[in-house]
Amino acid sequence: MARYLLKRVIIFAITLWGISLASFSLIRLVPGDPVLLLLGERQAGPEVYARMQRTLGLHLPLHQQYLTFVGNALRGNFGDSIVSKTSVLHEFFARFPATLELALMAMLFGIVLGIPLGVLAALNRNGFLDYSIMFTSLLGYSMPIFWWGLILIITFSVWLGLTPVAGRIGMIYDVPSVTGFMLIDTLLVPEDRGEMFVDALRHLILPAIAMGTIPLALLARITRSSMLEIIGEDYILAARAKGLSKFAVYWIHGLRNAFIPIITIIGLLVSTLVAGAILTETIFSWPGIGKWILHSITSRDYPVIQGGILLIGGLVVIINLSVDVIYVFINPRVRIS
């Protein structure tokens, strides 16, 4: 176990290094000068331009800029935003609860619907229900998030008027940020907590569906494949021979053993949710880290892009490392090997 964890930690460090190098390099390939964007072409005289470059540290060679960025990041200093002059770490954690709340609801949507649909498809193999579920899951996986999000807005917000178009809560409400999770903070307000909670939930429904469609489709397909392998096992046949109900055999004993690959996929889906957060938050004006980073790319805010991507990458790698450790404890065959 110690050797396994050591290997994973080494991979973790190499992955973070690769993320830091990619985030530092790729943004500098994008056309545009952050100094000119900040000062404006008319005000960016030679002296003012050079002074601003020195202030931002952009006058140094690229390798020195990178080493400075990595050295500061190792000390927990990701710099200050060029635009807002605020600490990148502070801005990240101020917006992270909104993204985490959306991602958790999207994952909950995918798990609650995807796993049962996958089991139903496996139990009705090659039947109408199986083909319908698999066709729908393939369609859900293939739809671009930006297109699917717009379809949801047009259908449920514009035509039916059932949900709000954007934001986390109505502008008429003033909800103090205690935990950063709007659904929790609305319940902590002394007055009108029920009305605020319902409004926050209505704002969350469409972004969660748009973001959770791909996890739903993947979980349905993986659950079906895993259940098909489990159904033919000897212990399933023995349980049926003992007279256990189909529910107990398939939904309890079978599904419990099919969870090993499902847990792995749930861990890998975290990166999918993070990538989907950028598009989803932009479409629904959700004030999370995805929209924050996209806005920083358009304004060439180097510290925010570098620090934000590195922090997101670190969280994704940590979650995947945790999933690998959990997988080892769940599956004895991995420990033996």
Contact status, residue 307 vs residue 88, Cβ threshold 8 Å: yes
Q: Pick from 211, 207, 206, 219: which is nearest to 137 by CA?
A: 219
What is the dihedral sign for C-alpha 89, 92, 94, 100? Answer: negative
Question: How wide is the angle at C-alpha 104 spanned by C-alphas 100 and 105, nearest 5°?
Answer: 120
Calpha distance 252→259 (Å, rounded) = 11
pLDDT (tens place) for every residue of the chain, 337 residues total = 677 778 888 888 898 899 889 888 888 877 777 777 777 655 667 777 788 778 778 778 888 989 998 998 888 888 888 888 899 999 999 999 999 999 999 999 999 999 999 999 998 999 999 999 999 998 988 888 889 999 999 999 999 989 998 889 988 888 888 898 999 999 998 888 889 999 999 999 999 999 999 999 999 999 999 898 888 788 788 887 887 787 778 887 788 777 777 877 887 787 677 766 888 998 999 999 988 988 888 888 888 988 888 888 888 888 877 777 777 676 655 554 5
Q: Which of 231, 46, 32 is nearest to 125 (CA)?
A: 231
Residues with Cβ within 8 Å of 128's Cβ and at least 6 positions away in sequence, in order, are none
- Paired tokens of 92: 């990240």
DSSP letter, residue 125: T
Q: Which domains does the chain have, with CATH numbers?
A: 88-298 (1.10.3720.10)
Q: What pTM does this model have?
A: 0.85
